[in-house]
Structure 1
Amino acid sequence: MKPTTDRMLNRIKDVYMFILDKGTVSTQDLVEEFSITPRTVQRDLNVLAFNDLVMSPSRGRWTTTSKKVRMSS
C-alpha cells in the first residue's frame, strides 16, 4: 500500500476512535484535534458514513452508529 494511503487509513481510524470516545463531536472539533482542513475532515467523514460507521444527527455534529467494528492494530 502506498504510504499516503496508509496514512489516510490511519487518520480515518483515529477520527473514528475519537468520535467513539467522545460520543458526539463537531466537524470543528475534528479540525482542531487532528490539525487538518475542514475539507479533509469531510472526506474522512464521508468514508466513515458510507461504511455506516458514523452519522450526523444534526448539521455539523457527528456520532458513531451501533454497527459493530472489529479493529486491527
Structure 2
Amino acid sequence: MSHSTSRMLTRVKAVYLYIREQGTVSTQKIAEEFGTTRRTVQRDLSILTYNGLVQSPNKGNWKITNKRVKIPDA
C-alpha cells in the first residue's frame, strides 16, 4: 500500500471516529478539525457513505449509521 493511500485511510478512520464522538457534524466542521479542504472531506465521506458507515440526514450534516464496525488499532 502506498504512503498516500495509507494516509488517506488513516484520515477516513479518524473522520469516522470524530463523527461518532460528536454526534451530528457539518462538512465544514470536519474540514476545520482536520485542516483539509471541504472537497477532501467530501471524498472521505463518500467512502464512508459507500460502506454504509455514515449518512447525511440533512444536507451537509453527517452522523454515523447503526452498522456495526470493528475498528483496528493500527
Give the TM-score taking structure 1 as reference length. Answer: 0.99
Root mean square deviation of aligned Cα:
0.3
SS of 1:17's equivalent in the other structure is helix
The Cα shift of 1:36 comes to: 0.3
Query: Residue 52 of structure 2: SS of its match in structure 1?
Result: coil
Q: Letter of the aligned partner of 1:55 in structure 2?
A: Q
Tell me, yes or no, if structure 1 residue 42 matches structure 2 residue 46. no
**Once superposed, which parts of structure 1, at least 4 consecutive aligned residues long, lie more than 4 Å away?**
none
1:68 paired with 2:30, answer no
For structure 1, the residue ranges without an aligned partner over 5 or more in a row are none
Is 1:5 the equivalent of 2:5? yes
> Unpaired segments of 5 or more residues in structure 2?
none
Letter in 1 for 2:63: T
* Count of paired positions: 73
Distance 2:37 2:19 in 1: 17
* Identical positions, percent: 52
